[in-house]
Amino acid sequence: MNNTCLRFIFVWLLCAGLLYAECAVAQDKAAEESWEVAPDFEKRRPMTIAVLPMDNLSLEEGVEEALYQQVYRRLTSRGYAKVSVDHVSEVMKKLGVTVPGLLGGFSTIQLGKELHADALLLGQIEQAASVHQAVYDAVVVSCSLRLIDAQTGKTLWHAEQWRTAHRQWALDPFNMLLNTMGHANASREDRVAYLVQEMLKTLPKGAIQIDTGDLLNRASVIKP
């Protein structure tokens, strides 16, 4: 086989690979988020929300704390009062809830009464990992949030976000090394913060109006 044929085959394979990758990226972008708001949300709109401990289904330890902190920090900007972290911790200790999975053993009515909350906000990290393949590197993060009416146990709002971030070609071994180093050092807090920001954009605004100051830090916190 002469050099011309070899070059033709190489170019053809490279083009096919690029086309496949572009299709994959397009599919990722088309399925990055989903959300749903209950039809009667306006009627059952809560005033006070308790942010419950977040679950972690991924292999990245501690990432659920980043999810909790970002949700708690940003919730007030949507117009809702939130139960203090200390009170939620005290109630969880009182009920013997050491991991989020144990919350299912209690009714939403009981949790609402104990926490003095109209609604309960639950969430979880489904995936948080670095993927290093032959031709690209990626940081994959996916998470979801669910707002539950404490009196009825019905879902008022649900949102999911997933991203494949920093996808880059790594055909050059030197670039592949740099990408791997960069992804390993990427801030998981920054990744989760962006997804929380996008999810909370779909949460209908509450009744509390904040017109001045830092919306993220001027917290309306309920301390029963």
How confident is the model at residue 220, as a pLDDT? 65
Radius of gyration of the chain (CA): 22
How confident is the model at residue 87, as a pLDDT? 96
How confident is the model at residue 94, as a pLDDT? 96
CB 156 within 8 A of CB 46: yes
Q: Which two tokens stand for residue 55?
A: 């679950």
Q: Which two tokens stand for residue 147?
A: 């707002």
Burial 119-146 (b: 16+ CB within 10 A, else e): bbbbbbbbebebeeeeebbbbbbbbbbb
CA 33, CA 187: separation in Å to the nearest integer?
21
How confident is the model at residue 209, as a pLDDT? 72
Classify 44 as helix, strand or coil: helix
What pTM did the predictor assign? 0.72
How confident is the model at residue 60, as a pLDDT? 78
How confident is the model at residue 160, as a pLDDT? 92
> For each of the chain's 224 residues, which pLDDT tens digit applies?
565 665 655 555 555 454 444 444 433 443 478 999 999 999 999 999 999 999 988 877 888 999 999 999 999 899 999 999 999 999 999 999 999 999 999 999 999 999 999 999 999 988 765 555 544 445 567 889 999 999 999 999 999 987 655 444 444 444 444 444 444 444 667 778 888 999 999 999 998 876 545 444 444 666 66
CA 193, CA 69: separation in Å to the nearest integer?
9
Residue closest to 141 by CA, chosen among 63, 83, 40, 62: 63
How confident is the model at residue 181, as a pLDDT? 44
